[in-house]
Amino acid sequence: MSQKPTVLLTNPIHPDGEAILAPHANLILAPDTKADTLRVLARDVDGIIVRALLPDDICDHAPKLKGMVRHGVGLDFIPVEQATRRGVMVANLPGCNTQAVTEYFFAALFRLRRPLGDIEAVLRRDGWNAARPLADATREVAGDTLGVIGVGAIGSRIARIAREGFGMTVIGVNKGPFPEGVTEVSPDELFSRSDVIAVTCALTEETRGLVSRRLIGRMKPDAVLINTSRGPVVETQALVDALTAGAIAGAAVDVYDSQPVPADSPLFSVPRLLMTPHVAAITATSMRAMTLGSVDEMLRILRGERPQNLVNPATYAA
């Protein structure tokens, strides 16, 4: 009987998926996601299920590696070009967390616009008469203009719900085609017209720093920005300066230039900034779906089959 292949898990996966994969592969769970740790553990593995940033030279340290599967969508955690040169298949799971990120966006939007938690806290602490006036400063989203940067799967879902569910006008900037109901505009027009800005594009060399100081400077004073993309898409210091100066009404960020955010980061003292630890795509529902999807793709790779969502097809010889 041939020896089972070995799969490295950069982070824990859902137990339902682990139970499916374990009979077919020896599983190694990384104790941490430091680059040196992952390099050492990759030495004898056949596959990697990726939930954390891999070092750019991971393939140099994994001579047996057949494939890497992103437990999610974004490919910036995986050195795809190096993998392609080494003949290592890379797969991801398009659409697996679209609903989770969409729901996060609206949760963040309502937290910025109608912060019911804050009102409840005042009610409990200071009483009815102190809490009720806080509602006077809240604002509905109906009739607002939503600007979407990156109208892909997530951006399109956000746009449709905003338009059909809340009566918002939706404008967008996108590299590809535009869905029905979203009007294409320039970045300058998007930032000057929008009451709410959704940053949902992928991180590429073209989008790095796209949300620049100049564009943030065009935002309305009562506008808010929500970033569920990647930290480097937004010029962080420019956003911090705008919030600190009161030049914009608020922002929500789930992603950062470096992660995890250090405990002493000045971001924690920035006013009107909602911070979450890269959890927009994470719910119990999405975690199970992403695990099952990544396990399915990894099993295909281990069997020598083509993954359904192979992102570097040159690596597969039919």
Res. 95: pLDDT tops 60 = yes
Count Cβ atoms below 10 Å from residue 111 Cβ, excluding itself.
Answer: 18
The residue to which tokens 């609903």 are assigned: 99
Render pLDDT for 25-71 as a digit per residue (tens, 0 to 9). 999 999 999 999 999 999 999 999 999 999 999 999 999 999 999 99
Structure pTM?
0.91
Q: What is the mean pLDDT of residues 94-117?
A: 97
- Residue 39: its pLDDT value, please? 98
Backbone angles phi, psi at 162, to 5 degrees: -60, -40
What are the angstrom distances between the C-alpha of 253 and each of 106, 160, 185, 273, 291? Answer: 13, 22, 24, 8, 25
What are the angstrom distances between the C-alpha of 185 and each of 173, 174, 182, 254? Answer: 6, 9, 9, 25
Query: Which residue blocks in 132-265 are alpha helix, DSSP H?
Result: 153-160, 166, 187-193, 213-216, 236-244
Is residue 65 within 8 Å of residue 284, measured between CB atoms?
A: no
Identify the structural domains of the chain with CATH numbers, from first to last: 6-94+284-315 (3.40.50.720), 98-275 (3.40.50.720)
The residues with which 69 forms a beta bridge, in sequence order, are 49, 91
Torsion sign, CA atoms 121, 122, 126, 131: negative
Count Cβ atoms below 10 Å from residue 206 Cβ, excluding itself.
Answer: 10
| Burial bucket for residue 271 (CB in 10 Å: 0-12, 13-18, 19+) | exposed
Res. 105: pLDDT tops 60 = yes
Res. 1: pLDDT tops 50 = no
Is residue 297 within 8 Å of residue 309, measured between CB atoms?
A: yes
Percentage of residues in the chain with pLDDT exceeding 90?
97
SS3 35: helix
Is residue 93 within 8 Å of residue 294, measured between CB atoms?
A: yes
Render pLDDT for 235-281 as a digit per residue (tens, 0 to 9). 999 999 999 999 999 999 999 999 999 999 999 999 999 999 999 99
Integer Cα distance of 245 and 202 in angstroms = 29
Extract the tokens encoding 308: 């359904």
- Residue 318: its pLDDT value, please? 57
- Residue 2: its pLDDT value, please? 58
- Residue 83: its pLDDT value, please? 97
Render pLDDT for 137-193 as a digit per residue (tens, 0 to 9). 999 999 999 999 999 999 999 999 999 999 999 999 998 889 999 999 999 999 999
The amino acid at 135: A
